[in-house]
Structure 1
């Protein structure tokens, strides 16, 4: 289909597809909505993931890591949407907080083990990935970030920074210049979102100290 494979413009010597452009613009919108703690962040993320998968599948250059990342985005968006709606019904707001040290340890440990396990699968099956370690890191790191967002942890923003450190150069290397450029803009929005959520935890500390875990951001 033309809207998938058609070129919108050229950036950094690489053609930018319409689907790639629309998908990433939706992703930017979802991140901005997450910054504002809007429940609409989740359906927009879901739509962004679907459009970007269509863009990646229409390309002649395989990008399993990027496709896997968007599959995780779609799955996590559905779950996060449910959690945020439940939290808003229970408290009237979307509560955010820092994860506890045990929660951080579990998240970091699960991310490391998941990355090692998935990279081993990719290394054992070369047809699944041309860049096993980067693909595994992006896949598992994205899952960790989306999980943290759904739980309302400020660490969500740090997780996205860690994913983008690898995702930006991988996107450019895979021929998705607009994705790489968008991920660079993500970095700025992530810093702003991190500041906003951080300040929010200070404002809400007395009121949300006993909020159930189900109330997430």
Structure 2
């Protein structure tokens, strides 16, 4: 059995749902990466990179082209984000966070809209790429926007992840990636927690100095 075959083999069954190893391992690492992002640890990026590599196998197994593309973006942006956070550390080793400017927010929202439209049209024109073209396109574009904002230390990246999760959770359950669906519910809780933490750091320099 090849490594890919093993990753896409069944790990166990829970509540009538078949859980495959790639779905289990990739999302567990991804959950760790999100927690590291909340802590503003530069190790969030190598964790996201590894999670993306493993989840490519999971999404190939259920023919989710958009999600495969999303994970390829995760891998590429994780390398860039790793460089950005390594270079952008403050003197105490922490990562500064901030709210985006209105112009940056417009760029992020516009990029998400244009990206969703472009990828959705591509998947619609070539149905073999995705059985759920617009949901896949939305996740693809939203993930790219979220990771770019995270690499720049913008609080808005948490909002972007939350919006991606609102579509990603039901899509993963419907696609047969039950563990992805369950773990994304946990992601949602961590996103809300992380959003609050980063928000407070932008409002209270004293808190930043005390807890960094």
Instruction: Note if 1:108 corresponds to 2:104.
Output: no
Residue 203 of structure 1 deviates from its aligned partner by 2.2
Following superposition, the deviation at residue 4 of structure 1 comes to 1.0
Tell me which of 16, 33, 36 is aligned to 1:33: 36
1:92, CA displacement in angstroms? 3.7
The correspondence of residues 184-203 of structure 1 with structure 2, limited to 5 A, is 184-203=185-204
Which residue in the other structure is 2:139 paired with? Answer: 138
Q: Which residue pairs with 2:68 in the alignment?
A: 67
Q: Alignment partner for residue 43 of structure 1, among 40, 43, 46?
A: 46
Q: Indicate if the aligned counterparts of 1:12 and 1:177 stay in contact, CA closer than 8 A.
A: no
User: Counterpart in 2 of 1:22?
Assistant: 25
Offset of residue 56 of structure 1: 2.6
> Alpha-carbon deviations, 1:57-76, whole Å to 9, x = none?
3x2x3111221111111111
Q: Closer, same or farther in 2 for the Cα pair 1:56/1:117, shift >3 Å?
A: closer
Q: 2: distance between equivalents of 1:89 and 1:95?
A: 7
RMSD, aligned CA:
1.9
Can you give the 5+ residue segments of structure 1 that lack an aligned partner in the other structure? 208-217
The answer as to whether partners of 2:8 and 2:57 remain within 8 angstroms in 1 is no
3-state SS of paired residue (1:96)? coil
**2:15 maps to what in 1?**
12
Shift of 1:90: 6.9
Residue 105 of structure 1: SS of its match in structure 2?
helix
| 1:120 aligned partner | 121
TM-score computed with the length of structure 1 as normaliser? 0.89
**What TM-score results when the alignment is normalised by the length of structure 2?**
0.91
- The number of residues matched between the two structures is 206
Q: Which has the higher contact order (CA 8 A, sep 6+)?
A: 1
Match of 1:214 in 2: none
Runs of 4+ more than 4 Å apart: none
Cα deviation for residue 91 of structure 1 reads 7.2
Q: Distance in 2 between matches of 1:129 and 1:90?
A: 46
